[in-house]
Structure 1
Amino acid sequence: MSVDPTSPVVPLASYPPAPPDEYRSRAPEFYGFVSWTSTTLLFVFFLLWALLPDEFIVWIGVEWYPSREWALLLPAYSIVLVLLTYFVYFSMAIARTPSFSDISSFVDSRAHLPASGAPNPYLKYANPDAIPELYDIPIGIVNRVMYGPQNRTKGTGSIKEE
């Protein structure tokens, strides 16, 4: 039984849709194989260079090779580089995060808000059966609906006792 990718039986279709089999390239398989084999060969050469004695390497016919101290320095520098990368990205994320009092904490540049000069478009939808236009609701209205009218005393920040 053939099922349409967006039928009620399978409501979610993959995006982007997969191309037909006859048009798929096998290049990623070859690139993956070449990168895997070259990485493995480089690692084997690194281990041989780091562990074999000098006499054996010269006997093989290798006249010049880097100093053995690089066998320790390269992994150590690599670990430091990875840790430094994590630290830099974490620091950049903290530096770019807006403060809690900034309006950009909860409203972004893609918000679809009503025009500022127009009357409040939400008041005409006070009927619970009404379906409003699609807008992002401003945070002030959300707070009024969620927490009721402003019952805060001035200056103290605490809620008035009634």
Structure 2
Amino acid sequence: MSPLAPISPWPPEEPAAPYPDLPVAKEVYGLLAVLLTYLAFGAYLVWAFAPSHWLDAVGWTWYPSREWAIIMPCWLMVVVLLSYWSYTALTAFLIPGFHSPSSVTDKHSNMPPEVLGAVPYYWKFANADTVPEAVDLPIDLVNRVLYPPRPRPRLRS
């Protein structure tokens, strides 16, 4: 077949490796985790809802007090909510303030020098044939473009 044919891959692809006959350890551990989780949840439901004499008849003679069937899920929900709130508070605490320069720039910024000679660097880009270099714009320039000065409204008296 010609390399120019539309159905021929070019360069030729390597044949796929045969699928291993034995399962990978991750698959086995994942299956065991799922099965043990279902088994533990089933045991929890039996312990929480089955009458005591049924459990004694099966041979399950020791089990915690039934009040733990309510306490543990409530406690786990509170722990999950507290972890969400804690991570949210930690994130809010670690955010730099508005006055911090790190809220507008970081170590990866490509900030141009303020002045090239006596002319500010961004004035040279005003020519139509000049292509500006890839730099981060300073926040004062961005603010002047986005929020130009406006005259104050005069109050009528």
Report what 1:156 is aligned to. Answer: none
- 3-state SS of paired residue (1:63): coil
Q: Determine the C-alpha separation between the residues in 2 that align with 1:27 and 1:116.
A: 58
Report what 1:14 is aligned to. Answer: none
Moved more, 30-39 or 67-76: 30-39
Instruction: Give the direction of change, closer, same or farther, for the CA distance of 1:142–1:72 in structure 2 (3 Å limit).
Output: same
Aligned length: 138
Contact 2:48 2:66 in 1 (8 A): yes
Q: Determine the C-alpha separation between the residues in 1 that align with 2:72 and 2:39.
A: 17
Report what 1:88 is aligned to. Answer: 86
Q: Determine the C-alpha separation between the residues in 2 that align with 1:3 and 1:70.
A: 63
Q: Deviation of residue 116 (structure 1)?
A: 5.7
Contact 2:113 2:121 in 1 (8 A): no
Instruction: Give the direction of change, closer, same or farther, for the CA distance of 1:116–1:26 in structure 2 (3 Å limit).
Output: farther
Instruction: Give the direction of change, closer, same or farther, for the CA distance of 1:98–1:32 in structure 2 (3 Å limit).
Output: same
Report what 1:22 is aligned to. Answer: 17
| Corresponding letter in the other structure for 1:22 | A
TM-score, structure 2 normalization: 0.69
Q: Determine the C-alpha separation between the residues in 2 that align with 1:123 and 1:77.
A: 63
Deviation string 1:31-53 (CA, Å, 9 cap, x unpaired) is: 43322222111100100111112
TM-score, structure 1 normalization: 0.68
| Higher RCO by CA contacts (8 Å cutoff, separation 6 or greater) | 2
RMSD between aligned residues: 3.1
Report what 1:65 is aligned to. Answer: 63
In structure 1, stretches of 5+ residues that fail to align are: 5-19, 153-158
In structure 2, stretches of 5+ residues that fail to align are: 1-6
